[in-house]
Amino acid sequence: MAGPRPVVLSGPSGAGKSTLLKRLMKDYEGVLSLFFFCTETKRNHRLGEDGKDYHFTSRDKMQEGIVNGDFIGNVEVSGNMYGTSSCLKSAIEDVQAQNLICILEVDIQGMKNIKEMDLNPIYISIQPPSMEILEKRLRDRQTEADDSFEKRLDAARTDMELISKEPGLFDLVIINDDLDEAYKKLKSALMEEIQKVQDSME
């Protein structure tokens, strides 16, 4: 496939993915493309999400789309339905054709769906040092209702257990116990692709 390899970044909510990505995007503007592929979801949305990270729809429409083959994968997590659009591959290829590194921030299920596609991405997982630290980070956000908070913790436990049970699932697992060190590891993992893009721009 032509163009730089895409990057699939996964990890539980509160692990620090977004913070690391913002820093990366700032340092390598014009090289990376953070790709929001509008995961279809049936859950309550937060301010500013609709049409960016997620596209919100009804459960009936989600189920209809699943039957019609509109998703390359779908899952129900913590009572919420999620699906990944079948147009994802062509959208990523469009980004590659622009000589940009396409970065996808996805959950563990989204990552497994992407593994079914012929994209040859770099798989990276961002993990917290412990459940205790993750719980504190989520509480400090003060953005979740109690039931949603507990569901996120349960999803994080599942995510962290999967990492330990399937060590080859990702090309790199970064424990984000120090933001600067985590960023160095992330940047190092992507530097070969970053350099290719920069060289081609000269």
In the chain, what's the furthest Cα-to-Cα distance?
52
Has 152 been annotated as catalytic? yes
Judge whether 23 counts as a catalytic residue.
Answer: no
Q: Which helix (H) or strand (E) holds 42?
A: strand 39-42
Phi/psi zone of residue 175: left (φ > 0), alpha (ψ -120 to 50 degrees), beta? Answer: beta
Contact (Cβ atoms closer than 8 angstroms) between residue 125 and residue 10: yes
| Neighbouring-strand partners of residue 55 | 40
141 catalytic, yes or no?
A: yes
114 φ, ψ (degrees, to nearest 5): -65, -30
Q: Which of 23, 43, 139, 152 is catalytic?
A: 152
Q: Which of 59, 139, 141, 157 is catalytic?
A: 141
Burial class (CB in 10 A: 0-12, 13-18, 19+), 106: buried
| Catalytic hit among 5, 23, 43, 46 | 46
Cα–chain center distance at 116: 16
Q: Catalytic residue positions?
A: 46, 141, 152
